[in-house]
Amino acid sequence: MTPLEKKGVTIVVFSGELDRALAAFNIANAAASMDLPVTMFFTFWGLNVIKKEEGKVGSGGWMKRMMNVLNRGGAKRLKLSRMNMGGMGTAMMKKLMAGHNIPSLREMIEMASGLGVRMVACTTSMALMGLSEEDFIPEVREFVGAATYVGDALDSEVNLFI
């Protein structure tokens, strides 16, 4: 691989908010449509984006159970970082998106999967939150640590933290 050929995009998805998740998948899908390799590394609150909607409420002690109650997660449950207004702002944003034929977050995740975007969960955050591999949507197939992320980022041209 020559330097000029070194291409690709990595995105650390740290945030668990609807607007930031939409931005992450919008960039990821645009890049994947251009045939670029894309890796999304979900960590901390970002794990909420890729949790199964039924979610389990947790295992391993009351603190983790409580963490999971407060972080039910699942693409449908995420809220806006601003103007949530008790859910009203978030509902409004979803309506506006549908009215403009902008795909929902769940549809964007499916699209990303179809386009070959790698979705990877951070094992350190998983341990902290008492989550295991089966707690995530099936599109997430790899579970890695920060060193793997850094290796991927070094091989990519564009690296973002969202």
The contact set with its own copies (CB under 8 A) reads: 3-4, 7, 9, 12, 14, 16, 19-20, 22-23, 26-27, 29-31, 33-34, 36, 43-45, 63-64, 66-67, 70-71, 82-83, 89, 92-93, 95-97, 100, 102, 124, 127-129, 145-147, 149-151, 153-154, 157-162
**Residue with Cβ nearer its own copies (56 or 67):** 67
**Residue with Cβ nearer its own copies (138 or 156):** 156
What span, in angstroms and rounded, lies between the C-alpha atoms of 18 and 13? 11
Q: Is the dihedral of CA 42, 44, 50, 52 positive or negative?
A: positive
Q: How far is the CB of 128 from its own copies (least distance, A)?
A: 5
**Residue with Cβ nearer its own copies (62 or 138):** 62
Q: How far is the CB of 142 from its own copies (least distance, A)?
A: 16
**Residue with Cβ nearer its own copies (26 or 141):** 26
| Bridge-based pairing state of the strands 158-161 and 118-122 | unpaired
The C-alpha angle with vertex 19 and arms to 14 and 24, in degrees rounded to 5, equals 55
CA-to-CA separations, 115 to 57, 88, 97, 123, in angstroms, rounded: 31, 32, 21, 24
Q: DSSP class of residue 56?
A: -
